[in-house]
Structure 1
Amino acid sequence: MPADPSTLSRGERAKYYATNLLLRGIIGTVMLIPYRWRIPAMGWVVSRLAPITGWAKRVRDNLALVVPDLPEAEVARLCRAVPDNAGRAVIELYSGAAFAERARRAPVKGPGLLALEEARRDNRPVILITGHFGNYDAARANLIGRGHNMGALYRRMANPYFNEHYVHMLGSVGQPIFEQGRRGMMQMVRYLKDGGIIAIVGDLHTHGGESLDFFGEPAVTSVVPAELALKYNAAMIPVYAVRRPNGLDFEIIMHEPIAHSDPITMTKDINADLEKMVRSHMDQWFWIHRRWKPYMPHQDDGGDAG
């Protein structure tokens, strides 16, 4: 994922630049609409573009792999609803203070909040582990609003032009943010060792990860978050921002901390926890990702925040 456009061919630069202009144009236009209507408008736009971009096909292919008995009517619904949720999440991030204010009003449920508060009283490091579900940045904004400052790990986008302003918006939710890679991991580890909280989105295919079941099929998953939790005695707490039926508000769910054992067992528990949430809210997980790609050994950089 190039950091510098000069490393790209002329054709690649032109493609990425044109794509960035198109996306910025769509985002800029939708941002002119009041927040109440802006969020569903962006969801509608992305859901209508999904068949053209290939997202609808990827949703369908992923569902066929792991839930092959799903009725066709439900598959068709998810092919629209999943991109709709993704579009809402993008424009929410770009909505800045309006999104943060709404996210901070969300109720928090589950035993994980007490576990987080206890860890903070003990100056114990915390890893908040989540997935591309609902709008994971809503949980980060909510907890920061409650006084739990935290860092976040993110994966650089392939499009360097779009990545520049996307990362800026990620940082506007809260600081610090760490780019996935050697330098970012070193910074994040120092932050964690000092008793910090970090948020990691751990459900993307990661080269060098372990092939572990997710929805009954092998999915390459990073075990680095679990390794960090063990090494620095960090509480590892699953957290999810569930989009409510009105499409605008959220409920933050924080589960029991993942019990410390070994990296493989802990990561299996993380996958199982996320799977339960997804099965309860099938339209809120990003089925647009290539989650079940084949295993390919490579150096592992950890998880992701976006």
Structure 2
Amino acid sequence: MARKPKSPLAHFLSQAFKPIRQRIEGFATWSFCGLCGLFPVDKAGSAAAWFFYGLGRYVKASQTARRNIKKVYPHFNDAEIEAIVKGVWDNAGRLIAEYSNPQDFRGAEGDKRIEVVGLENFLQMRDDGKPGIIFTGHIGNWQAITHFATDHGLELTQLYRTANSPWTDREMLKRQLQCVPKVIRKGRNGSREIMKLLSQGGHLFILVDQKLNEGIEVPFLGRPAMTAPAIARMAIRYNCPVVPAWAERIHDSYFRVHFEKPIEFTPIGDINQDTYDFMVKVNQCLDRWVNQRPDLWFWLHNRWID
């Protein structure tokens, strides 16, 4: 159903109050992150998880999540669906606490909190002398991947989406740079920076499950979804390994990071078909992760075309 356009008055008021709303959002982000940083990460995470679900289960995004889950898992009953919604908000709250306590995921403390499956795949990418790409989705805590990589000799540059509010963006970018050495902002300039990075043998970290209104249509969890094809085109152009990875939350702020084998792919020379086929493989990885731990993926937006 198409969204009803705003009246001229509603549009005017929305634009007039936008700067105020953005400052409030920025202050709330700064305050909440700062508060979480005052306490041990597990205690802060548990409190934030309780708070997020306590409020989040009543907001519109939770209704969207329940509809999405029902579409993908039509055999799930209401209790099973609500358990996933609770897991989503639990994970979101803990994420904020973890962004606020990056020191707990580095060095000796990081070794306690992050275990790794597929270490050989990580080491191969780190040591092969080629450019490379690691991709993941909004599942678990994806920054556990960058913390581990940085601590073990692989400098990753993360593709970063600018927040709508410049005040929120300032705070989130500061937190982001505590998780990864460098970021590239999405956009035209970002595309040039990515090309430079890969041409110089660098390594890119990218989340590939964002909602889009453009891109190409590729199946995701059994339903058509508009999908950004950039990762496929970069892999084909630079002939570089693309490693799927995801950070499974075991309990509290402890993770099992899975580094999988690089995607096996042989181009046929048709750029459109090659791009589509590559993205099918990417989305199949996401399918597998979400099906394994649906409570850890962000179901809160309309990801699908239908």
CA distance, structure 1, for counterparts of residue 19 and residue 223 of structure 2: 36
Give unpaired runs (5+ residues) of structure 1: 1-7, 295-306
CA distance, structure 2, for counterparts of residue 153 and residue 135 of structure 1: 16
What corresponds to 2:289 in structure 1? 277
- 1:259 equivalent to 2:264? Answer yes
CA distance, structure 1, for counterparts of residue 23 and residue 159 of structure 2: 25
Are 1:35 and 1:98, in contact at CA under 8 Å, matched by a contact in 2? yes
What corresponds to 2:280 in structure 1? 268
What corresponds to 1:108 in structure 2? 116
- Structure 2 residue identity aligned to 1:131: G
Are 2:26 and 2:171, in contact at CA under 8 Å, matched by a contact in 1? no
Match of 2:202 among 192, 196, 205: 196
- 1:33 equivalent to 2:39? Answer yes
- 1:148 equivalent to 2:154? Answer yes
> SS at 1:213's partner residue?
strand
Mean Cα displacement is larger for which, 58-67 or 20-29? 20-29
> SS at 1:173's partner residue?
coil
CA distance, structure 1, for counterparts of residue 202 and residue 84 of structure 2: 37
Q: Can you list the C-alpha shifts for 1:143-183, whole angstroms capped at 9, x where unaligned? A: 11111111110111112211111011111112220000011
Shift of 1:103: 4.1
Match of 1:83 among 71, 89, 92: 89
Q: Can you list the C-alpha shifts for 1:22-45, whole angstroms capped at 9, x where unaligned? A: 333333333332223111111111
CA distance, structure 1, for counterparts of residue 255 and residue 126 of structure 2: 24
What corresponds to 2:231 in structure 1? 225
Are 2:121 and 2:260, in contact at CA under 8 Å, matched by a contact in 1? no
- What TM-score does the superposition give when structure 1 sets the normalisation length? 0.87
- Structure 2 residue identity aligned to 1:109: V
Are 1:55 and 1:83, in contact at CA under 8 Å, matched by a contact in 2? no
Are 2:88 and 2:298, in contact at CA under 8 Å, matched by a contact in 1? yes
Shift in alpha-carbon separation, 1:213–1:199, aligned structure 2, 3 A = same
Aligned identity (percent) is: 26
Q: Can you list the C-alpha shifts for 1:63-95, whole angstroms capped at 9, x where unaligned? A: 122212212111111121111101111220121
What corresponds to 1:177 in structure 2? 183
Q: CA RMSD, aligned part only?
A: 1.8
Mean Cα displacement is larger for which, 246-255 or 33-42? 33-42
- Structure 1 residue identity aligned to 2:297: W
Match of 1:9 among 12, 15, 20: 15
Are 1:100 and 1:138, in contact at CA under 8 Å, matched by a contact in 2? no
**Aligned pairs (5 A) from 1:37-56:** 37-56=43-62
Match of 1:117 among 100, 119, 123: 123
Shift in alpha-carbon separation, 1:22–1:165, aligned structure 2, 3 A = closer
CA distance, structure 1, for counterparts of residue 62 and residue 38 of structure 2: 27
- Structure 2 residue identity aligned to 1:148: L
Shift of 1:52: 4.0
- Structure 2 residue identity aligned to 1:253: H
Larger Rg: 2
What corresponds to 1:298 in structure 2? none
CA distance, structure 2, for counterparts of residue 219 and residue 132 of structure 1: 16
Are 1:134 and 1:241, in contact at CA under 8 Å, matched by a contact in 2? yes
Are 1:81 and 1:283, in contact at CA under 8 Å, matched by a contact in 2? yes
What corresponds to 1:303 in structure 2? none
Give unpaired runs (5+ residues) of structure 2: 1-13, 267-273
Shift of 1:293: 4.4
Mean Cα displacement is larger for which, 160-169 or 100-109? 100-109
- What TM-score does the superposition give when structure 2 sets the normalisation length? 0.87
Shift in alpha-carbon separation, 1:218–1:98, aligned structure 2, 3 A = same
Are 1:209 and 1:221, in contact at CA under 8 Å, matched by a contact in 2? yes
What corresponds to 2:302 in structure 1? 290
Are 1:259 and 1:266, in contact at CA under 8 Å, matched by a contact in 2? no
Shift in alpha-carbon separation, 1:19–1:74, aligned structure 2, 3 A = same
Number of aligned residue pairs: 284
Mean Cα displacement is larger for which, 221-230 or 253-262? 253-262
